[in-house]
């Protein structure tokens, strides 16, 4: 073979890719065994489809080598410099594949998925993420160990290359071989998508059948998914008419209607704490016996406590989107991170129109996930890490100041508005309940940096401090505190949308204003804004998709849950799951046990789900939920 030397190098890279991918898949398979019901057929699918995705992934890796194959002349390729360069690259490639395997394992351990849109975000926001990784893992030890480990396959691989021979090649031969190699990723780009890895109803099996690097590329490419192209649809007029019916809309768009409350507005201050990763499962009211939320457990008895709330998604931006815009989750990236999200009809816009000082208060740098731009474009002033003086910070980690410092800043901001005689609305986003789970020493009986339970207990402690300090302020008696999670702590289960995992608590605490009681009505994060405005007795022209669950009691109870591709619509004990490739799956579930059983198609459930999901996608694309005068 005239291209033997170059072919050997490419074949060697291919073998390294397949072996490291095989090892990674096997390690993740062993880790997932408790959640898998393995059979010989499923095992064959995992490894067979997995091998296919490994090959597709390598076809993309081949692109620069195919170009080099064509462009590099024999004199350069076979020179001492060229051969040394190949060996250096070979060592680095082995290291990179091993590092990728370790990275996939840690990512899978955290999120129970291969690389996805979260990993894309991690590549974008390097400052916070790199600090978080350094604070969470022994990075130096891992890197040094992988460098040493890379030597073991490198030595025989070097000998294999040393056995190759230089060959004189013509440009036409190199061009033909390079062109053939380039055809592989080109064909894969147009014919292969991640849907081919859906080999089972078990979500773990589907993740194992894919390839992490391919998933990363796919998530970057499909960061926004056009609903009409990828998801089930019906005629726009039919869907918008259905939406108008479920929303009681009064205009042709299906959204517009006037919400009227009798009597005067109640100009109470509002502090809305969006608590990082506060799953319902952490609270004793939901069965937790570790005693890690004593302050929230007390607040549950002293608040209007909603016990049947579902988070819209698994990322902070999903919660911010749902609470502020009162819109079901769109497929792909959240609206917070999309262009064109300015001047939408939002909770902030309504509150500002009614005379409130609105603030988004965040302990980290608000450029992360585009939060500052989103909030500033939708009715809020920004208070983030850059606004904290040195003497206002007692502790900080990769994500920002600790919750106590954040709440102290919130109280000072409230003092400023009160002194000016203006009601205030503070939307406060916390960070302490997040890996690396570090917080100030001496606050709770669980040492910092020891795991999730400690972070939850510290977050609970900080909330207790917020309430205690706020009680000393002159504005406390006129203030409503809302505490809700941005999303659940984890949604990894056998099924793609494990309903039980999306449950989060909601507290409305306002002594003398709101009567303490439990409310078990099913609701969604998109219902928080209209419910809050109802508590304030504010009349307004609405373009929200949510409902005031305390006043609007008509129609079936429903909620929305989603990943970045799967869209779930819950109605009673029924679940509709919409997915790419125009898929619609139907389930019945038992809330107590969390079990989900697939059922036949139900046309009424589909139309209600499409009214919200297709309707919201159409409304956002056509700016129907923008601010109107």
Mean pLDDT confidence for 592-611? 94
The verdict on residue 365 lying in a domain is: yes
Q: How many CB atoms lie within 10 A of CB 167?
A: 16
Hunting for tokens 């891992």 — which residue is that?
Answer: 142
Which of 221, 253, 271 is at the close of a domain?
Answer: 221
Q: Which of 152, 187, 221 lies at the terminal end of a domain, its last residue?
A: 221
Which residues lie across from 509 on neighbouring strands?
A: 481
pLDDT tens-digit series, residues 534-561: 999 999 999 999 999 999 888 899 999 9
Q: How far apart are CA 380 and CA 322, in angstroms?
A: 16
Mark residue 40 as left, alpha or beta (left: phi above 0; alpha: psi -120 to 50; beta: remaining): alpha
> 249 and 117: one domain?
no
409 and 465 fall within a common domain: yes
Q: Is residue 322 part of a domain?
A: yes
Q: What is the pLDDT of residues 7-52, one digit of tens each?
A: 788 889 999 999 999 999 999 999 999 888 889 999 999 999 999 9
**Same domain for 251 and 299?**
yes
Q: Which residue in the block uniquely carries the two structure tokens 């939408």?
A: 344
Q: What pLDDT, on a 0 to 100 scale, did the predictor assign at position 628?
A: 62
Q: How far apart are CA 358 and CA 379, in angstroms?
A: 7
| Res. 113: pLDDT tops 50 | yes
Instruction: Give the pLDDT of residue 126.
Output: 67
Q: Give the chain's radius of gyration (CA, Å).
A: 27
DSSP label at residue 286: G
Q: How many domains does the chain contain in total?
A: 2
Of 211-220, 444-453, 460-469, 520-529, minimum mean pLDDT range: 211-220
**Phi, psi (rounded to 5 degrees) for 356:** -90, 145
Domain co-membership, 521 together with 555: yes
**What's 291's domain CATH number?**
3.40.720.10
Comparison of pLDDT for 443 and 564, the residue scoring more: 443
pLDDT digits (tens, 9 = 90+) for 206-264: 999 999 999 888 877 666 678 988 899 999 999 999 999 999 887 777 788 999 999 99
Average pLDDT over the chain, rounded to whole? 90
pLDDT at residue 70, as a whole number: 66
Task: Provide the 10 A C-beta neighbour count for residue 416.
Answer: 12
**70 vs 511: which has the higher pLDDT:** 511
What are the structure tokens assigned to 270, written together?
């509002």
pLDDT per residue as tens digits for the range 292-332: 999 999 999 999 999 999 999 999 999 999 999 999 999 98
Q: Any residues with CB less than 8 A from the CB of 110 and at least 6 apart, and which?
A: 435
**pLDDT (0 to 100) of residue 286:** 95
Classify residue 230: in a domain, yes or no: no
pLDDT of residue 222: 62
Q: What is the pLDDT of residue 114?
A: 87
* 207 and 336 inside one domain: no
**Which DSSP category does 368 fall into?**
G
Let me know if residue 310 belongs to a domain: yes
Which pairing describes strands 479-485 and 269-275: parallel, antiparallel, or unpaired? parallel
| CB neighbourhood size of 105 (10 A) | 15
**Of 221, 254, 287, the domain-final residue:** 221
Q: Does 350 lie in the same domain as 207?
A: no
Q: Are residues 521 and 614 in the same domain?
A: yes
CA dist 33 and 281 (Å) reads 23
Q: Average pLDDT, stretch 124-152?
A: 85
Q: What is the pLDDT of residue 190?
A: 86
Q: What is the mean pLDDT of residues 45-66?
A: 92
In degrees, rounded to 5, the angle at the alpha carbon of residue 163 between the alpha carbons of residues 157 and 168 is: 120
Mean pLDDT of 163-190: 75
| Among 347, 371, 348, 346, CA closest to 359 | 348
* Whether 152 and 269 share a structural domain: no
Say yes or no to pLDDT of 4 above 80.
Answer: no
According to the model, what pLDDT value does residue 1 have?
A: 35
Reported as half-sphere exposure (CB side, CA atoms, 13 A), residue 252 has a value of: 2
Do 145 and 248 share a domain, yes or no? Answer: no
Q: Are 361 and 254 in contact (CB under 8 A)?
A: no
Distance, CA of 223 to CA of 237 (rounded, Å) = 28
| Residue range of the domain that includes 130 | 4-221
Residues 53-69, mean pLDDT to the nearest whole number = 87
275 in the same domain as 136:
no
b/e per residue, 480-497, with b = 16+ CB within 10 A?
Answer: bbbbbbbbbbbbbbbbbb
Confidence of residue 3 (pLDDT cuts 50, 70, 90): very low
Residue at 544 is within a domain: yes
Res. 492: pLDDT tops 60: no
Task: Write out the DSSP string of 99-147.
Answer: HHHHHHHHHHHHHSSSS-HHHHHHHH-HHHHHHHHHHHS-HHHHHHHHH
Quote the pLDDT of residue 226.
Answer: 84
Decide if 453 contacts 298 (C-beta within 8 A): no
d(CA 260, CA 248) in angstroms, rounded, equals: 13
Q: How far apart are the first and last CA of the chain?
A: 74
In angstroms, the CA 593 to CA 582 distance is 30
Bigger pLDDT: 140 vs 111? 140
Per this entry, what is the length of the chain? 629
Is there a single domain that holds both residue 194 and residue 323?
no
Do 464 and 447 meet the contact criterion of CB atoms below 8 Å apart? Answer: no
Instruction: Give 344's DSSP letter.
Output: B
Query: Is 231 contained in some domain?
Result: no
Cα–Cα distance measured from residue 478 to residue 512, given in angstroms and rounded to the nearest whole number: 9
User: Would you state the structure tokens that stand for residue 419, as one six-digit string?
Assistant: 């002194």
Of 563 and 124, the one with more pLDDT: 563
Average pLDDT over residues 369-391: 97
Are 212 and 323 within one domain? no
Q: How far is CA 549 from the centre of its chain?
A: 26
Q: Is 504 part of any domain?
A: yes
Q: Is the peptide bond before 414 cis (omega within 30 degrees of 0)?
A: no
In this predicted structure, the answer to whether residue 174 has a pLDDT above a threshold of 90 is no
Interhelix angle for 40-71 vs 171-191, to 10°?
Answer: 140
The mean per-residue pLDDT over the stretch 462-488 comes to: 97
- β-pairing, 257-259 vs 540-542, is antiparallel
Q: 341-360 burial by CB neighbour count: b if 16+ within 10 A, else e?
A: beebbbbbbbbbebebbbbb
């Amino acid at each position: 073979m005239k291209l033997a030397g170059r072919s050997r190098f490419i074949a060697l890279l291919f073998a390294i890719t397949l072996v490291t991918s095989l090892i990674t898949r096997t390690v993740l398979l062993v880790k997932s065994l408790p959640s898998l019901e393995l059979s010989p057929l499923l095992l064959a699918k995992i490894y067979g489809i997995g091998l296919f995705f490994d090959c597709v992934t390598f076809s993309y890796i081949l692109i620069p080598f195919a170009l080099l194959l064509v462009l590099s002349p024999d004199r350069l390729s076979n020179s001492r410099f060229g051969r040394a360069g190949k060996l250096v690259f070979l060592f680095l490639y082995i290291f990179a594949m091993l590092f990728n395997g370790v990275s996939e394992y840690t990512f899978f351990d955290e999120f129970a998925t291969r690389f996805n849109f979260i990993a894309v975000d991690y590549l974008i926001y390097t400052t916070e993420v790199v600090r978080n990784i350094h604070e969470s893992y022994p990075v130096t030890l891992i890197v040094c160990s992988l460098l040493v480990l890379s030597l073991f396959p490198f030595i025989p691989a070097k000998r294999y290359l040393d056995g190759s021979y230089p060959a004189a090649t013509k440009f036409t031969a190199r061009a033909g071989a390079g062109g053939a190699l380039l055809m592989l990723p080109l064909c894969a780009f147009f014919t292969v998508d991640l849907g081919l890895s859906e080999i089972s109803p078990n979500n773990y099996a589907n993740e194992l059948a894919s390839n992490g690097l391919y998933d990363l590329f796919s998530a970057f490419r499909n960061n926004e998914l056009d609903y009409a192209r990828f998801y089930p649809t019906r005629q726009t007029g039919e869907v918008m008419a259905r939406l108008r019916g479920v929303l009681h809309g009064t205009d042709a768009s299906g959204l517009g209607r006037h919400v009227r409350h009798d009597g005067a507005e109640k100009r109470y201050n509002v502090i809305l704490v969006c608590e990082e990763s506060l799953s319902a499962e952490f609270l004793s009211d939901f069965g937790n016996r570790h005693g890690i939320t004593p302050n929230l457990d007390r607040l549950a008895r002293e608040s209007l406590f909603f016990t049947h709330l579902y988070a819209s998604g698994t990322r902070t931006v999903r919660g911010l989107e749902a609470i502020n815009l009162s819109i079901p989750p769109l497929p792909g990236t959240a609206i917070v991170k999309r262009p064109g999200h300015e001047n939408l009809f939002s909770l902030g816009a309504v509150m500002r129109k009614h005379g409130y000082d609105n603030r988004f208060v965040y302990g980290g740098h608000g450029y992360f996930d585009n939060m500052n731009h989103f909030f500033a474009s939708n009715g809020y002033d920004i208070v983030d890490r850059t606004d904290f003086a040195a003497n206002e910070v007692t502790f900080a980690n990769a994500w920002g100041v600790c919750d106590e410092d954040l709440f102290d800043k919130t109280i000072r901001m409230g003092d400023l508005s009160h002194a000016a005689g203006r009601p205030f609305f503070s939307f406060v986003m916390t960070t302490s309940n997040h890996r690396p789970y570090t917080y100030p020493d001496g606050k709770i009986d669980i040492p910092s940096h020891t795991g999730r339970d400690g972070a939850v207990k510290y977050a609970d402690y900080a909330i207790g401090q917020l309430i205690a300090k706020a009680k000393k302020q002159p504005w406390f008696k006129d203030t409503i505190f809302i505490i809700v999670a941005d999303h659940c702590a984890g949604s990894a289960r056998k099924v793609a949308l494990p309903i039980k995992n999306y449950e989060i608590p909601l507290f409305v605490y306002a002594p003398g204003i709101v009567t303490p009681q439990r409310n078990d009505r099913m609701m969604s994060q998109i219902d928080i804004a209209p419910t809050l405005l109802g508590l304030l007795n504010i009349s307004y022209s609405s373009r929200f998709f949510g409902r005031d669950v305390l006043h609007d009691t008509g129609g079936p109870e429903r909620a929305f849950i989603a990943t970045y591709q799967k869209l779930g619509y819950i109605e009673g004990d029924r679940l509709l799951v919409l997915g790419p490739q125009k898929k619609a799956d139907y389930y019945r579930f038992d809330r107590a046990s969390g079990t989900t059983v697939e059922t036949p198609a139900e046309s009424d459930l589909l139309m209600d789900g499409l009214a919200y999901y297709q309707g919201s996608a159409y409304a956002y694309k056509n700016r129907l939920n923008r601010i109107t005068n």
